[in-house]
Amino acid sequence: MKLVEVTLRHLQMEMKSPFSTSFGTFQMKDFILLEARDEQGTVGYGESVAFSSPWYNEETFKTNWHMLEDFLIPMLLGKELQHPDEVSDLFSAIRKNNMAKSTIEGAVWDIYAQQTNQSLAHALGGTKDQIDVGISIGIQNSVEELIEVVRGYVEEGYKRIKVKIKPGWDVDVMRRLREAFPNVAIMADANSAYRLEDVELLKQLDAFDLTMIEQPLASDDIIDHATLQKQLSTPICLDESIHSLEDARKAVELGSTKVINIKIGRVGGLTEAKKIHDYCMEKGIPVWCGGMLEAGIGRAHNVALTTLPNFILPGDTAGSSRYWEKDIITPEVTVNHGVIHVPQQAGIGYAIDQEAVERYTVMKKTYN
């Protein structure tokens, strides 16, 4: 396989309702959709999950555009590849910028799956033909509202409810949520809003039988999380702190995390995601697939990755309609009773909706 043409598009999509975390609120999503064509004419797609502001990590859709245009696309155009795993080896010469790398690596995996006539899930080594999913719920205006929102998703059948927490929206909220839903799998995601000094407050969460607490401490920390985990009975799950297999290994060896949230973009692509999955499986660390409020292409890649056997816990891959009036793929990703049926066709198994893509395109540029 040899890429001969790559098109970047800046897309802008408005979310159905704002999504609030401890670090900010999302309403408009600006992101990059990448289309790659190889010499045989096979077309693959990738989606950058970087946001417009560097809140979650240091990348933005504009830094991704720069990295793609000036470094990553030139490295791949005209380069003969036998397998998508070679992409991350080539990109190892460039530090970090994982979401930028993942955008084009995902399109190479899509092309590879099509040319070997298998679904992306199968190409990755996936074993499931349906996956269980949960949902992530942002900070609401009141606990009463939160309970009503959660009730709706529990009734739809989502297999696990994750709620965002932050100082001032934590112990009391989780207590009331647990009282309202005694038998639902509930977890909390702090997006790095606490410090080790908050240990007494965080210990109070142990009373609510949470499946896990996600990234309570600093986004670059694995030391304090190990200290905290020794004092909590609730398992800690790292998100922001894990960028690679090496990070995962160190966090597991230190005892900083008992579960890992794998996000394809954060770790630099599907090849690295698979390596983290395999390592965790060997160590008995369950993983789940996180979300970045993706549009259809990113969502389709998440669905494929989640078919790997150690994705034991339901992830954040909710259905397209939870986020968008109209997604950019057809059919959209649909969830029934908390389950997504994984498409079996070659490639990602969802087609691009060209009309929707055109409608959301702000800018477009082709490289060849």
Q: Which residues bind ligand OSB (CB under 6 A)?
A: 21, 56, 136, 189, 191, 239, 290-293, 316, 318
Sign of CA dihedral 234, 240, 91, 102: positive
Say which entry of ligand OSB, Mg ion, none residue 318 contacts (CB below 5 to 8 A, set by partner kind): ligand OSB
Q: Total number of residues binding Mg ion (CB under 5 A)?
A: 3
Q: Is 128 exposed, middle or buried (0-12, 13-18, 19+ CB in 10 A)?
A: middle
Residue of 101, 164, 166, 258 with catalytic role = 164
Structure tokens given for 91: 């990109």
| Catalytic residue list contains 164 | yes
Under rule CB under 5 A, which residues in 25-64 are in contact with Mg ion?
none
Min dist. Cβ of residue 27 to ligand OSB (A)? 12
Interacting residue with Mg ion among 239, 247, 272, 327 (CB under 5 A): 239
Nearer Cβ to ligand OSB (47/316)? 316
CB atoms within 10 A of CB 342: 20
Nearer Cβ to Mg ion (9/301)? 301
Say which entry of Mg ion, ligand OSB, none residue 292 contacts (CB below 5 to 8 A, set by partner kind): ligand OSB
CB atoms within 10 A of CB 364: 14
Min dist. Cβ of residue 191 to ligand OSB (A)? 5
Min dist. Cβ of residue 299 to ligand OSB (A)? 8
DSSP 311: B
Nearer Cβ to ligand OSB (35/240)? 240
Min dist. Cβ of residue 36 to ligand OSB (A)? 24
> Does the annotation list 214 as a binding residue?
yes
The answer to whether 189 contacts Mg ion (rule: CB under 5 A) is yes
| Catalytic residue list contains 326 | no
Rounded to whole angstroms, what are the CA distances from 53 to 102, 117, 220, 263?
18, 38, 18, 18
If phi > 0 it is left, if psi is from -120 to 50 it is alpha, else beta; for residue 306 that is alpha
3-state secondary structure of 368: coil
**What kind and span of H or E run contains 362?**
strand 361-367
Is 209:232 a contact under the CB 8 Å cutoff?
no
Give the span between the Cα atoms of 118 and 237, in whole angstroms.
32
Residue ranges of the annotated binding site for Mg(2+) are 189, 214, 239
Active site residues: 164, 263
Q: Could you list the residues that contact Mg ion (CB under 5 A)?
A: 189, 214, 239
